[in-house]
Amino acid sequence: MKGADLSGFSGWSIDIDEVPKILDVEECQTTASWQFFDGCYSLVPIERSTRFSRILAKTGAPSVADYATDQNMREWVTFHRRVTV
């Protein structure tokens, strides 16, 4: 549901019968694209954690609209939206 376009359901209500995840975790290999991501995002360690960091978009990073209209980066729209909220 996080990445779903629910705009067609304006005025509807929904009940979620699950406890939402506080943290969103996903792993992926970025062997070729890590330099792009390094230029657009910063990792900020989370206090009292040795394993987790918060991802922040750097100033000048592409916008959500930029990702949405880029054929090669479209699949990263949900990721970027979550980082910039």
Q: Residue 22 falls within a domain, yes or no?
A: no
Q: Residue 4 falls within a domain, yes or no?
A: no
**What is the extent of the structural domain holding 55?**
31-85
3-state secondary structure the chain: CCCCCCHHHCCCCCCCCCCCCCCCCCCCCCCCCHHHHHHHEEEEECCCCCCCEEEEECCCCCCHHHHHHCCCCHHHHHHHHHHHC
Mean pLDDT of the chain: 83
Q: Residue 18 falls within a domain, yes or no?
A: no
13 — pLDDT class (breaks 50, 70, 90): confident
User: What pLDDT, on a 0 to 100 scale, did the predictor assign at position 21?
Assistant: 59
Our count of domains for the chain comes to: 1
**What average pLDDT does range 36-56 have in this prediction?**
89
Q: Residue 10 falls within a domain, yes or no?
A: no
Q: Residue 3 falls within a domain, yes or no?
A: no
User: What pLDDT, on a 0 to 100 scale, did the predictor assign at position 62?
Assistant: 94
Q: Residue 40 falls within a domain, yes or no?
A: yes
